[in-house]
Amino acid sequence: MFGAKTARPAPATRPSLRMELTIKNLSKTYPNGVKALDNVSLTIPQGMFGLLGPNGAGKSSLMRTIATLQAPDSGSIHLDAIDALHDKLALRRVLGYLPQEFGVYPKVSAEELLDHMAVVKGIVNRSERRETVKALLEQTNLYEVRKRSISQFSGGMKQRFGIAQALIGQPLLIIVDEPTAGLDPGERNRFYNLLSEIGENIIVILSTHIVDDVRELCRHMAIINEGRVLYAGQPQAALHALRGRIWERTIDKAELADYQRQYPVISTKLLAGQPLLHVCGEGLAAAGFQAVEPSLEDVFFATIQGKAAPARPLHA
């Protein structure tokens, strides 16, 4: 897949061709009393899966738990036949992880650091390792700057390096936590293209609070808040469920508080200096609102605020 012969786990430990990550009744409460995960259940199919939620929703706690970096209080996680909570080593063999902030050695070149990480991942043959590092640097468009130290990389280049290290060993599951925060539009597009390529044949979980990330990349998604899953399914099904229920209107700033009291406002943003309201409801034309097609952002805000109707599966 990635143009290099890399070390793989023994066939007996590898999942089947079409994979699923199954999470059941996962809960986690930290010593300070914060309930980070509250009975989370998800089935994540092969391909790109978006996990949306505001900051502090429990996304990183879920990602860290799936990555075997912390133990839950209860529940189970299976990647096909692999029991991730009871056989952590088997899961780690097929896992690539790019956390929100990953530590690197800033004065070491990208090529040297990837080579070191390949050794840690078990690729001990020098020529095999050289091929692997070269292929990953080319895939992430970093080969021309391979001799440059990580400290000289832009934010987008560091994120692409993070993907390169996550791909060592040809993983079957990749977790990417808040990857595009702070990237400029050009770097975000390059990152989107890279993730789309990676997500064709494996499971890639994209944890983010940026709705555009999920809209651009993911066929399946979940919305999480306060440690609970509020929606899981296809983005298109969620959009279909809100059709005919999203309305907008521009108002004067002085009217904002009154409108928020009177109507089920899900979001506001300034348009030419005036608040543009999005409201989730029925029959609001008489109040001066105009019906609009729902966006994934509308789905996100309506779901978080408990104003979205349950989505029904779409039929072909």
Q: pLDDT tens across 234-286, in order?
A: 999 999 999 999 999 999 999 999 999 999 999 999 998 899 999 999 999 98
Per-residue confidence at 213, pLDDT binned at 50, 70, 90? confident
pLDDT value at position 150?
86
- Look at residues 204, 233, 262 and tell me which one is the last residue of a structural domain: 233
**Does residue 243 share a domain with residue 228?**
no
Q: What is the mean pLDDT of residues 82-104?
A: 86
277: nearest Cα among 252, 306, 296: 252
Q: Let me know whether 208 and 262 are in one domain.
A: no
Residues 262, 212: one domain? no
Residues 47-52 have a mean pLDDT of 95
Residue 108 lies in a domain: yes
What share of the chain has pLDDT > 70, as a percent?
90
CA distances from 197 to 10, 161, 201 (A): 25, 16, 9
| Model confidence at 66: pLDDT above 90 | yes
Domain contains 6: no
Rounded to whole angstroms, how far apart are CA atoms 1 and 309? 41
Q: Are residues 186 and 43 in the same domain?
A: yes
Evaluate whether 188 touches 41 at the Cβ level (below 8 Å): no
Any domain includes 294: yes
Which of 211, 233, 255 delimits the end of a domain?
Answer: 233
Kindly report the average pLDDT of the chain as a whole number: 87
- Tell me, what's the pLDDT at 311? 53
Say what the pLDDT of residue 85 is: 95
Residue 186 structure tokens: 């050009």
Per-residue tokens: 249: 């209107």
pLDDT exceeds cutoff 50 at 50 = yes
Contacts of 121 (CB under 8 A, 6+ apart): 7, 168, 169
CA distance 218 to 179: 14
Average pLDDT of span 112-135: 90
Residue 309 pLDDT: 60
Cβ neighbours for 261, distance < 8 A, ≥ 6 positions apart: none
The CATH number linked to 17 is 3.40.50.300
Confidence of residue 315 (pLDDT cuts 50, 70, 90): very low
Residue-range definition of the domain harbouring residue 114:
11-233
Question: Do 293 and 169 lie in a common domain?
Answer: no
Cβ pair 21, 66 in contact under 8 A: yes
**163 and 15 inside one domain:** yes
- Confidence class of residue 102 from pLDDT cuts 50, 70 and 90? low
Q: How confident is the model at residue 122 (pLDDT cuts 50, 70, 90)?
A: confident
More confident residue, 130 or 101: 130
pLDDT category of residue 11 using cuts at 50, 70 and 90: very low
Per-residue model confidence (pLDDT) at position 19: 86
91 in a domain, yes or no? Answer: yes
Within its chain, how far is the Cα of 281 from the centroid?
29
103 and 160 part of one domain: yes
Counting residues of the chain whose pLDDT is more than 90, the rounded percentage is: 62
Tell me: do 29 and 146 sit in the same domain: yes
Residue at 153 is within a domain: yes
DSSP three-state, residue 219: coil
The tokens for 207 are 């944890």
The verdict on 44 and 187 lying in the same domain is yes
Model pLDDT for residues 17-31, shown as the tens digit of each residue: 578 999 999 999 999
Segment 187-205, tens digit of pLDDT: 888 888 888 888 888 999 9
Is residue 49 located within the same domain as residue 194? yes
Query: Residue 151 has what pLDDT?
Result: 85
Do 115 and 148 lie in a common domain?
yes
Stretch 214-227: mean pLDDT = 93
Tokens of 85: 């909570």
Q: Please check the confidence at residue 94 and state whether its pLDDT lies above 70.
A: yes
Cα 96 to Cα 70, 158, 203, 255, 265: the distances in Å are 16, 16, 10, 50, 40
- Is the same domain home to 227 and 245? no
Domain count, the chain: 2
Residue 63 is classified by DSSP as H
